[in-house]
Structure 1
Amino acid sequence: MRLSRRPSPAASAPSIVRPRAGTMGGERATVGIVPPRHTVRVAVHVVVAREDGAIFFVRRAGTGFMDGKLSLPSGHLEEGESVLEAAARETLEEAGVVVRPDDLEHVATVHGRWKVAPYLHLFFRAVRWEGEAHAAEPEKSSGSAWVHPSAFSDELIPYEREALEAPRGAVLVLGEVRTA
């Protein structure tokens, strides 16, 4: 008598295959092809504020984006980083101050489409930080300034100003404010 093994349910389930870019599933027929997902670029921005409420900004230069404007320490999320790790890293790189990821609080979120891609901008406030804030990347800035919120002007990047003036926890979608 010959015994035959039945395939397990997992072995008989259809495979899910992500097609290579530019193909509709490759050379073989597949079941359950996963369509390309919508992706956004993620940027982090950090509010470093003194006890008097003044906020640290760098004046952008040589970046090709909003050069001449005042900007919070900010940058892009890198592969393998959490958003809090990225925010702490960018604060050190751009402002020369040390912030631990645990010392960051969410302030606001801005979602919008810029010329190059859709973006999700996450704004955090450094509860504690160490060091003397300064423009730490001279190739990307032409100086720095401490600005009190009552003195905000058109020198600030517009969507950063909107995020700073929005209620805490706000989600701004192309200028429309939705509180969490």
Structure 2
Amino acid sequence: MGTAEKHLVYCWIERDGAVLFLRRTEGTFHGGRWELPGGTVEPGEPMETAAVREVAEETGLTIRITGERSRHSWMDVTGRDLRVHARIYVAADGAGEVVLNPGEHQEYAWLTPAKAAGLDLLPHVRETLTP
């Protein structure tokens, strides 16, 4: 049997030159590290649909995908025979208030990519700071 595949989608949501970053809740996978809003694509779910759904679940924002920023792939960090694929989409948002899901994220910040570079970012997020 071949390597299993997992697909993740994230959104680069920009407001006034700043991008929305989320900090994972302590005690969760990658707890305390920063990432973009996003998550796992469900079986059979279109990628862009998953991105819109994940952003709504994690931030309460209603977004619209406007393009693709980057793609990344890596082997599972826990050692499973699993290849992870991530797509980062560019999204326009409806300018609502961010409401976090405390089960996943404990903090958010609107930061310029240069400021975000100083955070403890997940590697695929760091790679997308400069397209």
TM-score normalized by the length of structure 2: 0.86
Residue 34 of structure 2 corresponds to residue 70 of structure 1: yes
1:106 aligned partner: 68
- Mapped contact 1:96–1:131 kept (Cα < 8 A): no
Whole-Å separation in 2 of the counterparts to 1:69 and 1:39 = 25
2:86 aligned partner: 121
TM-score normalized by the length of structure 1: 0.64
Q: 1:64, CA displacement in angstroms?
A: 2.9
Q: 1:119, CA displacement in angstroms?
A: 0.3
Whole-Å separation in 2 of the counterparts to 1:133 and 1:162 = 27
Q: 1:82, CA displacement in angstroms?
A: 0.4
More strand by proportion, 1 or 2?
2
Are residues 80 and 67 of structure 1, via their aligned partners in 2, closer, same or farther at CA, if it must alter by over 3 Å?
A: same
Count of residue pairs the alignment pairs up = 127
Q: 1:144, CA displacement in angstroms?
A: 0.8
Query: What amino acid is aligned across from residue 112 of structure 1 in structure 2?
Result: W
Residue 125 of structure 2 corresponds to residue 160 of structure 1: yes
4+ residue runs over 4 A deviation = none
2:8 aligned partner: 43
Whole-Å separation in 2 of the counterparts to 1:79 and 1:157 = 24
2:45 aligned partner: 81
The alignment-based identity, stated in percent, is: 27
Are residues 56 and 90 of structure 1, via their aligned partners in 2, closer, same or farther at CA, if it must alter by over 3 Å?
A: same
- Mapped contact 2:26–2:32 kept (Cα < 8 A): no
Whole-Å separation in 2 of the counterparts to 1:86 and 1:164 = 22
- Mapped contact 1:56–1:133 kept (Cα < 8 A): no
Paired residue secondary structure (2:14): coil
Structure 2 stretches of 5 or more lacking a match?
none
CA RMSD, 1 decimal: 1.8
Q: Deviations over 1:11-69 (max 9, x none)?
A: xxxxxxxxxxxxxxxxxxxxxxxxx4543100001111112x21101110156321111
Q: 1:105, CA displacement in angstroms?
A: 0.9
Paired residue secondary structure (2:52): helix
Q: Deviations over 1:78-137 (max 9, x none)?
A: 12210000001011111211123xx331110011102242100111010x2114242421
